[in-house]
Amino acid sequence: MSAIAKESLLEVCAIDEHRLEDYDAERPRWCKGCGDHGVLAALQRVLRKNNMEPENVVAVSGIGCSSRLPHYLNTYGFHGIHGRALPIATGVRLSRPELPVIAIMGDGDCFSIGGNHWLHAIRYNINAVVLVLDNEVYALTKMQASPTTPDGWKTNTTPRGTYLHPLNPLSAVMGMTNVSFLAQTATWLPAHLDETIEKAWNHHGLSFVRILQRCPVFMPKAFGEGGLHFPVVFLENDDGIPVHPSLLNRGPLQPHDHRNINEAQRVAVTVDPAPMGLLYQNTEVPAYEEIRWQRKARPDHEAFLQRLDAAMDVHTVS
């Protein structure tokens, strides 16, 4: 079917198709110029593209500017506590594996206070889209250094400059067992952001996406003033994340085999230029909730009672 014919068909069947507005909740209260707006719009586009029923999607977040996202997305949402989006997301997936889950976190949220959950979630490999909106600073609490704040940058907790090299989340992820999907993109590359979230949405397993985004209030100079002077390479592969030709003025293409874990690990340790695109994908890693569901069997009530009776027999003494 030609693209135009498909469009007309969609028009005719519009009654069954969701519109972008169907995924709008209240008006976002993020600062003007914040990258969070772009991520919200990209998420809404991917939900629209997949014609998701809003009631069948759960967006879980932690605490921080980006974690307000579920407030603005018209699905079921859970805005929890700092660092703990992933355990909640895991709980949803374990109990209701029919519900797609999106977890949204910030850099401090995921890499610092939620670090333990982050590493273990990758190993569990629950089937969920995990987005870290990394602005390299704690913004909601007004400019403290985060694990990814660049070398020597001044913040309210490091007024004479940071002390440590920033954490590289990509190499941390690639060091974990059971990693199944790792991509990096940036909000100043909207077409690439859309393609990346789409790719993550379609991956079966935990799709971990680090999204670089500038905080216009507290870190306006981050990422070369929001991508203007930020060296990147676009990872290129037929099955990877497509790179629109218009992006090539931002950085060159680099051929990359995202199925090769050694190559992915090598690329993941490179921070300058920053790799953009799909670093690694392995569709063979089983999802934790599916392993668990395969091994349990829900009996009907009669069988349930018989089994409980048998379990009680073991302890019956007279």
CB-CB contact of 88 with 42 (8 Å): no
Q: Verify binding: residue 17, another protein, rule CB under 8 A.
A: no
Q: Verify binding: residue 177, another protein, rule CB under 8 A.
A: no
CB-CB contact of 137 with 147 (8 Å): no
Residue of the chain from 21, 26, 238, 284 that contacts another protein (CB under 8 A):
26
Point out which span in 170-178, 185-193, 198-206, 298-306 binds another protein (CB under 8 A): 298-306
**What letters, b where the CB count within 10 A reaches 16 and e where it falls short, cover 15-29?**
eeebeeebbeeeebe
Q: Verify binding: residue 27, another protein, rule CB under 8 A.
A: no
- Whole-number Å distance between alpha carbons of 314 and 63: 47
Nearest alpha-carbon partner for 84 in 127, 115, 43, 124 = 115
DSSP per-residue codes, 252-307: -EEE--TT-HHHHHHHHT--SSEEEEEEEE-TTSPPHHHHHHHH-----HHHHHHH
- Whole-number Å distance between alpha carbons of 155 and 137: 8
Residue of the chain from 37, 48, 49, 120 that contacts another protein (CB under 8 A):
120
If the CB atoms of residues 284 and 302 are measured against another protein, the closer one turns out to be 302
If the CB atoms of residues 119 and 217 are measured against another protein, the closer one turns out to be 119
102 to 5, 76, 248, 311: CA distances (angstroms)? 32, 10, 30, 39
Point out which span in 13-21, 239-247, 258-266, 304-312 binds another protein (CB under 8 A): 304-312
Point out which span in 37-45, 129-137, 139-147, 293-301 binds another protein (CB under 8 A): 293-301
Q: Verify binding: residue 309, another protein, rule CB under 8 A.
A: yes
Point out which span in 176-184, 204-212, 252-260, 310-318 binds another protein (CB under 8 A): 310-318
Q: Virtual CA dihedral for 85, 88, 92, 95, nearest 10 degrees?
A: 160
Minimum CB distance to another protein, residue 11 (Å): 24
Minimum CB distance to another protein, residue 214 (Å): 25
Show contacts with another protein in window 56-115 (CB under 8 A).
56, 58, 60, 63, 70-71, 74-81, 84, 86-96, 98-99
Minimum CB distance to another protein, residue 164 (Å): 24
Copy the structure tokens of residue 256.
Answer: 């990359």
- Whole-number Å distance between alpha carbons of 189 and 209: 14
Minimum CB distance to another protein, residue 133 (Å): 17
Strand blocks (E) in 52-146: 58-61, 76-79, 101-106, 128-134, 137-138, 144-145
If the CB atoms of residues 78 and 153 are measured against another protein, the closer one turns out to be 78
If the CB atoms of residues 75 and 155 are measured against another protein, the closer one turns out to be 75
Minimum CB distance to another protein, residue 113 (Å): 10
If the CB atoms of residues 10 and 308 are measured against another protein, the closer one turns out to be 308
- Tokens 């629109």 locate to 244
272 to 89, 171, 241, 268: CA distances (angstroms)? 33, 13, 20, 11
Q: Verify binding: residue 19, another protein, rule CB under 8 A.
A: no
- Tokens 């890499």 locate to 111
Q: Verify binding: residue 311, another protein, rule CB under 8 A.
A: yes
If the CB atoms of residues 56 and 260 are measured against another protein, the closer one turns out to be 56
- Residues near another protein (CB under 8 A) are 25-26, 53-56, 58, 60, 63, 70-71, 74-81, 84, 86-96, 98-99, 116-117, 119-120, 292, 295-299, 301, 304-305, 307-309, 311-312, 315-318
